[in-house]
A and B are shown apart, each in its own frame.
Chain A
Amino acid sequence: MRGKLKLVFMLLFASTFVFILSACGKDSAGETDEDGNWKGKITIWDGPRWAQEGDTSGEEGKGNQYFWLEGKIEAFEKSHPGVEIELIKVPWAELPDKLGVNIAGQSWPDIAPVDISGSAVSIDHIDQGVIEPLDDFFTEDELKDFYENALDAYTYDGKLYGIPNSLTVHSMLLNLDLFKEAGVEPPANGEWTWDEFLDTAKKLTFDRDGDGKIDVYGFSTYILPGYYEAWPFFYMNGGQPLSDDLTEFTFDSPEAIESIQALADLKLVEEAAPVSMGGADVGGTFQAWANEEQRTVAMEPWATWAITSTQSSYPTNFMVANYPTGSTGEPVTIGGVGGWTMFHQESDAKKEVVAEFMKFISSTDEQYLMSKEYGIFPARISAAEKEPFADNPEMARAQEMSSQVVMLPRHPEWKKIDEIIQRELQLVFNGEKTAEEAMATAKPEVEALLQK
């Protein structure tokens, strides 16, 4: 009896071990059949995009926001017997952190919707072989269909490390109802100089009910590492954070200092922005502009997502405008490029199938559909030529700003450099330091990283 009991326990624990070990294992290489077709499993991560019209399923009533990719997976699996594609649904906000953890544990997906700018995947990862180059899967003609800056964003050391599928820009969003209430004319064609912008912001700051307290402010934004809504202002006089050859910190130049201080003084001196401007509250800043119950700020700069989000969730009478121009006379904005990246593959046969699927979901038609439904600008010229925003003037206006885009410096230590600068900028916007003092503090720290 005692022997049997012992045997039962031993079997129980052996099976527990086998279960744990099998759960830790990874069946990712697949196999190739006699005809040379690869069979196996591909894992793709994606965030919620858009739901079919009228679909209000789900806890929040937002519908199935993965139906587009699920449909593409089904079609691909049908045309590729033996290939199984697993979709892992990850909220956008959690994606960089989760991917970071998975990369650290070498359990990355085969495909993920990330860029290589550093939020989830960085140049360091490319150097370490985590990301696969895709040059072999594209002909020169195919690449000609992509905007050059879109390809540039995924190119490192002469190789292409992803398929761009979207471009985004930051633009100024203006609440026209508040303009009307204050009796202020919005800028013609959305173009203005800094002086005109400053004058407008001051006029849009008003006490609605005469109780002596300001109810509406002209402008607001926030300062936080990894976010760049305020940065086009800092470029307006020709300033930039690093020199072109990435060897020098240049945000301490007179052009940069002047523009940083000018934006801070909009709050500190002109009082045309709320005290919370320059804080770290992203959601609160957006709500102050978009939420019908608040709308305490007339103008805020946001990335492209805010235009579609406003149109769908916060119906507002608004327009899209350029960032104001400074002494250079040229409007500037910060842009981003989204797309699909392929993670390290052991099998060449699998790599080919993964690349084929990535191209399948990045075709002209798919980019056109995504632009129209999801509110991003296509990275393919052929998709843009189909005019996805013919019936959406705000998005069409923002798309025009693509030509004003400057990209952030591509330096392996950018995330640390960005944090040093943004932390100092926070102190400028809360009035504890002048722009000159703050950038002087940042300079040696940044340059130490540049010389690494």
Chain B
Amino acid sequence: MTIIQILFWLLSALVLLSAIMVVINRHPVYSVIWLIITFFGISGHYILLNAQFLAVVNIIVYAGAIMVLFLFVIMLMNLNKDMEPQKSKWLKLVGAIACGCLLLVLIAALKDIDINNQIAETNTGNIGLIENLGTVLFTKYVIPFEISSILFLSAMIGAVVIGKKD
């Protein structure tokens, strides 16, 4: 077992366990903390796939900006533990069973596809480095990049208008 395989299994276990903890935790603040751990695990996967730019952007945008936004909203609402009404036990069980069936069907459908023996290269290749991505982003994809800035502007105006007290 090489070091890359060990890291893959460790990161996968970390990601899945913390994602499950996000779902089953009753307190929203703890869910946010577990979600941050999930994002760090996914960034570890990106580093393992040698996509360093995406790993850094994932940490900055998701773990840095979006999770702080979530924490601020939870703090503003002053949610405490007993406020959330729970669904009934049976409804939770039915949801879990239905999603387990969905997982089973998806895995069974994707078990025999013809890319089965392909390898996703780890730890080599330089397409994920910022040099290559920046060149392509600012030459071939410069128009979508600028359009996304307009999207951000409209999202900012929309958030201000919606959140304003009237």
Instruction: Report whether chain A binds chain B.
Output: no
Q: Which residues of B contact A (CB under 8 A)?
A: none
